[in-house]
Amino acid sequence: MEYTKKARVIAFYLPQFHPIPENEKWWGKGFTEWTNVGKAKPLFKGHYQPRVPADLGYYDLRMPEVREAQAKMAREAGIEGFCYWHYWFGNGKKLLERPFNEVLSSGKPDFPFCLGWANHSWTNKSWEVGTRRIKESTLMEMIYNKEEYIKHFNEVLPAFKDKRYIQVDGKPLFLVFRPLEMPNPSEYIDLWQTMARENGLKGIYFVGIAYNMLPQDQTLKNILFKNAPDKSALYYQSVLNAGYDAVNSRGYHRADYYCRSLKDVLWRGISMRLFKHTPVSKCEQKEINKYLYVKEDKWENVFPTLLPNWDRTARSGVKARVYTNSTPEVFCEQLKNVLDLLSGKTDEHKISFLMSWNEWAEGNYVEPDLRYGHGYLDVLKEMIAF
């Protein structure tokens, strides 16, 4: 019998779980992702907060034992590898690089990985809960130019050449968070492709994130009538036309659109303006699941996103959106939908990005917690692991 993959699940991995001088300067001594996670409070009856980690506790990613334990869990669940968020700003400035650098230099854990470039500036609104209300300002600015592209490539080249690096079509996979933000994406991509070949690589497999609906597509009128035009193909194709090999598609703007009522939108707006109070906006995860995906997610070069849970109140308080009753059982139904979307693709391209492995302050993770234990990992293991 011929071996056939069900899915190549790659999990986004946040390296924010260790202190760095910049975060301590901006947010206070000892700040890590756990700072907001630990002080989160329930904002309505039945609200699942705070989120408390189980097996790994409030870990520190400077510890190799933690990274080994994470890799073991992910491997047993059938996850192919981690996509480490990579923060390169320009002028040689990078942040949160220590965990991945230690993974690269030590050769451990022996678990596949790739890099996702979080190419956006940092502002003082990144973490809002518990901080002073001050005028928004830029903390770390993203710089784009040819010189920076060359420096950046040389920075990540050792990772590309590592035997653990995840490949697609024989090329190292490199994901870009905002693929159209640089002034001329094709110039950047062409330069890296040339440099890759000059350094003995077949090339780079570029993946750009694209949404199947944008927030600006949603007006009061089409929220009322639910008649916003479907621009999924246009949005996906714009990334592909810029020179990217594939799209990591995201559907939560579309899902929010179909799940939010006009009453919810108007009441939040009125409350904020008249009463200086923001009611929490929430929706059932099982309802969100119905609208996450579109037919274009079946394209060979589109890799859909798995979104098991979402609750950003630990970071943004009442301004955040909450998906309620996110359970392993509900996640299982979503995973079935994604496996169906992938079923007609070649094994090499049966890729889905899991959002996320450990975004605890966004209520977006599959690591064990006190409520569900290994529930989400068990679903993955049952559905995709061989």
d(CA 71, CA 78): 11
The pair of structure tokens assigned to 120 is 């956006």
Mean pLDDT for 14-22 is 97
pLDDT, position 1: 30
Instruction: Band the pLDDT of 218: cuts 50, 70, 90.
Output: confident
Burial class (CB within 10 angstroms; exposed 0-12, middle 13-18, buried 19+) of 151 = middle
End-to-end CA distance of the chain: 14
The enclosing domain of 245 has a CATH number of 3.20.20.80
CB 177 within 8 A of CB 59: no
- The CA distances from residue 292 to 62, 153, 249, 301, 378, in Å, are 35, 34, 10, 18, 22
Is residue 370 assigned to a domain?
A: yes
The closest of 124, 98, 82, 46 to 315, measured between CA atoms, is 124
The per-residue pLDDT for 345 is: 98
Give a yes or no: residue 108 inside a domain.
Answer: yes
Question: What pLDDT, on a 0 to 100 scale, did the predictor assign at position 2?
Answer: 39
CB 292 within 8 A of CB 338: no
Beta strands 113-117; 171-176: pairing state: parallel
Any domain includes 1 = no
Number of domains in the chain: 1
Domain that holds residue 213: 8-384
Does residue 130 form part of some domain?
Answer: yes
pLDDT at 126 exceeding the cut of 80: no
- Classify residue 268: in a domain, yes or no: yes
> Span 73-80, mean pLDDT?
98
Whether 289 maps to a domain, the answer reads yes
The first and second tokens of residue 13, run together, are 């991995």
Binning pLDDT at 50, 70 and 90, where does residue 317 land?
Answer: confident
- Beta strands 281-284; 321-324: pairing state: parallel
Q: Is 150 within the bounds of a domain?
A: yes
Find all residues with CB under 8 Å of 323, minimum gap 6, and list them: 282, 283, 284, 285, 288, 309, 310, 311, 363
Give a yes or no: residue 3 inside a domain: no
Rounded CA gap, 7 and 344, in Å?
A: 11
Residue 281 backbone dihedrals phi, psi, to 5 degrees: -95, 125
State what percent of residues in the chain have pLDDT above 70: 92
